[in-house]
Amino acid sequence: MSERLLDEEIRSQVREVFNDLNQDIAVLFFGKEQNCDTCADTYQLLEEVSELSEKIHLSKYDLELDAETARRYNVDKAPGIVIAAKEGDQIVDYGVRYAGIPAGHEFSSLIHDFLLVSGRDSGLSQQTRDLLKKVNQPVLLQVFVTPSCPYCPRAVVLAHQMAMEHPLIQSEMVEAIEFPELSDRFGVSGVPQTTINEGAGTIVGAVPEEHLLAEILRVVGKKAEA
């Protein structure tokens, strides 16, 4: 392995946090050989983090060579990360995704999501849980971020909580600089920006859970009316 990305102080802090990991998790990495400047660093980062707990099980796939597996997990970008539950030999997908390297402030999102999935609970309020039951069609949340944005992790984790709570919701952190065409397509000019169902709804900024919930329900309701 090349020079470590995480110094000993960070490793020690993360190892201590991982004492609270409850159940096993599966981390699926999707990369590709060509045209992926951050794939190697992303996988190395996941390797270094996974070494810090026996409850984390990392596997590596090629987006093109393992196309069937990528399709199964709805991964179409590299580097792509899926954080799922591991129940014996079974992987239980909660819709928690990353597109791009979780570097800078987004490293905290990654660690938080490990705890979230390991706990098998979204942590959302009971009111939000009840209202989310109204969702009866697929919802895709894409949270555009940059590594230097201190407010972005809050938006990412909230979107991932929504995915944890409802099987029809999938949530993907998108590193805006790594995927400029996608950022341009959805008019990302400030981060965090949460795009719902490819532009059917948009929220800019890190908002309370009731705000994101309301926008999800608005998009779902509008589509049902149509």
The pLDDT of residue 222 is: 76
Residue 2 has pLDDT above 90, yes or no: no
Q: What is the pLDDT of residue 23?
A: 98
Mean pLDDT of 56-67: 98
Of 42, 50, 32, 213, which is closest to residue 139 (Cα–Cα)?
Answer: 213
pLDDT per position as a tens digit, 157-171: 999 999 999 999 999
pLDDT value at 224 more than 80 = no
Asked whether residue 112 carries a pLDDT value surpassing 60, the answer given is yes
Mean pLDDT for the stretch of residues 191-210: 97
Domains in the chain, please, with CATH? 8-119 (3.40.30.10), 126-225 (3.40.30.10)
**Residue 1: is its pLDDT beyond 80?**
no
Q: What is the mean pLDDT of residues 7-34?
A: 97
Pair 145, 178: CB distance under 8 Å: no
pLDDT at residue 226 in the model: 53
Using alpha carbons, select from 14, 2, 47 the residue that is nearest to residue 29: 47
Q: What are phi and psi for residue 144, nearest 5 degrees?
A: -85, 130
pLDDT at 136: 95
Chain mean pLDDT for the chain: 96
Concatenating the DSSP letter of every residue in the chain gives --S-SS-HHHHHHHHHHGGG--S-EEEEEEE-SSS-TTHHHHHHHHHHHHTT-TTEEEEEEETTTTHHHHHHTT--SSSEEEEEEEETTEEEEEEEEEES---TTHHHHHHHHHHHHHHT-----HHHHHHHTT--S-EEEEEEE-TT-SSHHHHHHHHHHHHHH-TTEEEEEEETTT-HHHHHHTT--SSSEEEETTTTEEEES---HHHHHHHHHHHHHHHHH-
pLDDT in tens, 78-101: 999 999 999 999 999 999 999 999
pLDDT above 70 covers what percent of the chain?
97
Phi-psi category of 197—alpha, beta or left, where left has phi over 0 and alpha has psi -120 to 50? left
